Chains A and B, each alone.
Chain A
Amino acid sequence: MLELQDITKVYNAGTVTEQCLFHHFSLSVEDGQFVTIVGGNGSGKTSLLNIICGSIPIESGDVLVGGRSISRMKDYQRYASMGRVYQAPSAGTAPNLTMLENLALADNKGRPFGLRRGVDRSRVDFYRAQLQSLGLGLEDKLNVKMGALSGGQRQAVALLMATMTPLQFLILDEHTAALDPKTAEIIMALTDKVVREKHLTAMMVTHNLRHAAVYGDRILMMRQGQVVLDRAGAEKAALSMEDLLAMFNQLSLAD
């Protein structure tokens, strides 16, 4: 179980632009739950993910995994059990390394990065099979520099890399927002498949209300650092995209 307890997060503390985003915010997520998170700009969706990953400091409160606090762990230490895919397709891969080198790096996560050969030749067939399963024709481009691929292709590889080694949490930060509609659907379907197959606990921030309605088994709608809608299981399944849109518009009017 992932728990956020009594989190207070203030931006620009001590200045005229001081803004309290989270005020005694709490949330718990069951193991294996796939949570979609929607909300307007500045509602705290991405900050929530950043707090979980340790990318930004908090004023007070605690983040717990399986009952144990991870608040004192550095961001890179937390990533030992977490994978993250960002909005920008460039964020999840190294552009000047080849796809093969990128995959080899991801494959070595959790093991020492010493003076052994970076790319283990015996793993190439495995990488090729993984790429083939994406259905994007990437298996022929192993020696192409990552930066030469399209945004959708890079995002697919980033997803593959983030979930290649055993992990517990998958953090998805608007990871389909920068993609064209068709590619976004492919990546989304892929995400769902990987979350189910690996029994991951996933948190997905999205602006696509249809994705939020269709995927996942719990939905959170956020506004000004508070959860204003929290539905799981059958209640979540009963929600349509139209329902979400109506609620969303109502909230926007209230602002």
Chain B
Amino acid sequence: MTPPSERPLTAMIDPAAGPPDCAAYGRAGGWQAARRALGGLAPADIIDMVTRSKLRGRGGAGFSTGQKWSFVPEDPASARRKYLIANADEMEPGTFKDRLLLEGNPLQLVEGMILAAYGVQAGHGIVFLRGEYHLACTRLHHAIGEARQQGWLGENILGSGFSFDIHVHSSAGRYICGEETALLTALEGRRATPRSKPPFPQTGGLWGAPSVVNNVETLCNLPHIIANGPEWFAGLGLGEDGGTKIYGASGRVAKPGAWELPIGTPLRQIIEEHAGGMLPGYRLRALLPGGASTAFLDATSLDVAMDYGSVEKAGSRLGTGMAIILDDRTCPIGMIRNLEHFFAQESCGWCTPCRDGLPWVERLLSAIEDGMGQADDMDQLARHARMLGAPGRTFCAHAPGAMAPLASGLKLFAADFTDHIRHGRCPLRMAA
């Protein structure tokens, strides 16, 4: 038997050939894990294996997946309504890893969902898919239909007594739907406002039933953990965390893209080797390591290992692991204004600090970028970063996320802010 691929998530993905069908998926090693789990593993074994694999949530928060599941009441799926939800509402600016997985190998997600659902004994599966992912939607529907036809979904799967099926919910926009409690509210046919915790979704989620919400990439790892063992999976990572990670880079790099690499791969290797370094004529100024809601790191931080703990120690967050590169010819204030426009627009409007604070931040940044900044604007921005950035002052993590690039940018680009305000113009825009 050939040893398992060290790039398990993308091993079967061939953009030119399209996604594998049920048979091809099986020939390439798919369904082994589902057969193993439903053929003799106890639900508690699945949770234990996933905990030992050191898999952490790939949506951005990085919570231990096994631990997250351990809070779900243990009743069998037949005794109680429970939900397993795949968060496919990928909307973090700069992030396109889940689309790759959804379009490239939707059956891997289906198998991952079967395993997660069996582990937490949930009979109802939902994929919460963002409305803009049209191709992923078509391919996912096709994959689910095929899996159902082959007996991988539905009543009494493989004669195990476990029943599970998947419904695709095509959403209709709004970034906040990716927040797990807002996602639940949206599924209940209400405006997607986050909920206060407790109750946590694991005990009181969708329609009040125990619910687990996991990111697409997280779920896609499960077949490989169950088929090849948690120790094998943990060993794929270079540091404390287990597995591989889909990293990416966008902006003025030579070869923007996404690559599956061992988790903990140094940022320098991602940018210089895989993304091919900067485009000719551009130098790297700073970057957001894991999407719009992570703090800027400057060019001196390139040796940081891209795992949860190391990036946090460097002053930012791993987030989605998809880096956005700021070059030396792009105005950092213009970039932060663009980010804060996004966050202000996407605020759900439920709590006042976020609803009113974020547009205020955007207006201040616009004034500075347009040459109408006032002397005390930087203090005003810093005050917002402090007041909105601390957890607990707003209803959910939207505003703290929005403040991460602002707070770090105010420090890193202090001279650029001062220049804009003193000279009453954007130096880079005049040069362009």
* Interaction A to B: no
A binding-site residues for B, Cβ under 8 Å: none
Interface residues of B, Cβ cutoff 8 Å to A: none
